[in-house]
Amino acid sequence: MNKIELRNLLDKLKNVHIGIIGDFCLDFYLFLDSTKSEISLETGIATQPVREMRFSPGGAGNVAQNLQALGVEYILAFGVTGNDIFGFKMRSMLTEKGIDISGLLEQSKDWTTHIFTKLYDNGSEQSRIDFGNFNLLHPETKGLLISQIRRAIPLLDIVIINQQVYRGIYTESFRRSIKKIIAEFPEKLFIVDSREYNDEFKGALRKLNDYEGGRLCGIERSIKETITFKEAKLIAEDLYKRWRKPLFLTRGENGCIIYSGKSYNEIPGLQIISLIDTVGAGDSMLAGIAAALGAGYGPVESAEFGNFAAGVTIQKLSQTGTASPPEILKIGSDPDYRYRPEIAASARNSRYFENTEIEIATSLPQERNIKHAIFDHDGTISTLREGWEKIMEPMMV
């Protein structure tokens, strides 16, 4: 996707309408500074002074704010918050961003707004404090929420089904109702990103990571273990046979595999050399994919766009960042990719062209009879300032 195509895609987002059914959470950041600590007279324990605090929409709220930052015209939120100060804060933040919260219901009993409290001490993230783990979705709340979703479906270009917490809105009863809605609107695009229920929601597209996909296929790996490209392709094929819909299998820094039943397409990971923070990257990827799909683009172009969005946000530290159109254009106009990272990481398996130091990353097509190759070293060698003529002249003459 070149710069002109990227600009055209961003322009089309100004007419896209997207609904998000999800677990709307609030990320609460506390930055501690022990230099002002004192011993509590009551407990004798050192206090933890907070130098700075800030809030950011999390969970489905982060997906929503990513869509807004990309320039999507209309975003409709469906979910539940508690009748508490944090619910009020999240509602006000989403409203300020122009997100329609008419589908974000408030349940006053048995529901606390989902909050992820993230403490940082000297730049190091501490154990998180979570709220909302004991929530119970009332039948009346569920019924009203489903009614509002069903009414809004015809007005939307695509619907995101986003499940991120275990005790959220996605009860068994709620999931059954969502599956009925998907069946009622077969012409409507639905895309699922779910930590617990990816194997449900027949008729929807899926976006999931390779570890989640691996577990569904009986491949259990710790987060420190690698799922190879070959294994990821087999996972994508297996999941497509189950769901019969295009799927996006994300691979972290190694990009994304798209499989639609006929062929595999790979979007390589972006080469980012600065410090990164991957928290929220999946939300940015999902937002980019859904926005492009809603604008009428195919799965491959949509994954490429989502990859750019995630590439922007991972460079924003200690926050669930977003990607703006100028930032997307900047990273997408001249991207650097991580080509064949598994080969690069394993010197033992390296293959070289005969009698050369040229490593073979991808075998040449047999039908091509290549006699000459031109290597453009000008930008690198000219930095030597002198002596480059002896190297370049034989190559250019």
Entry field: residues in the chain:
397
- Of residues 222 and 140, the one with the higher pLDDT is 140
Rounded-to-integer distance, Cα 4 and Cα 217, Å: 40
Taking only the tens place, the pLDDT of each residue in 95-128 is 999 999 999 999 999 999 999 999 999 888 899 9
- Paired strand residues for 160: 20, 191
Q: Of 307, 218, 219, whose CA–CA distance to 258 is shortest?
A: 307
pLDDT of the residue at 306: 97
pLDDT of the residue at 369: 80
Q: Binning pLDDT at 50, 70 and 90, where does residue 385 land?
A: low
Distance of CA 304 to the CA centre of its chain: 12
The pTM for the full model equals 0.86
Lowest average pLDDT, out of 47-61, 170-184, 260-274, goes to: 260-274
Let me know if 253 is exposed, middle or buried by CB neighbors in 10 A (0-12, 13-18, 19+): middle
pLDDT, average across residues 277-284 = 87
Look up residue 99 and give its amino acid: I
pLDDT, average across residues 194-198 = 95
Residues 3-34+46-344, CATH architecture: 3-Layer(aba) Sandwich (3.40)
CB atoms within 10 A of CB 283: 29
Residue 384 has pLDDT above 80, yes or no: no
pLDDT of the residue at 1: 86
Rounded-to-integer distance, Cα 245 and Cα 397, Å: 53
Q: What burial letters (b/e) apply to 175-192, b meaning 16+ CB within 10 Å?
A: bebbbebbeeeeebbbbb
Rounded-to-integer distance, Cα 24 and Cα 107, Å: 13
pLDDT of the residue at 397: 55
Taking only the tens place, the pLDDT of each residue in 56-69 is 999 999 999 999 99
Q: At what angle do helices 3-12 and 299-313 cross, to 10 degrees?
A: 90
Taking only the tens place, the pLDDT of each residue in 301-321 is 999 999 999 999 999 887 778
Please provide residue 169's backbone torsions phi and psi, each rounded to the nearest 5 degrees.
-80, -15
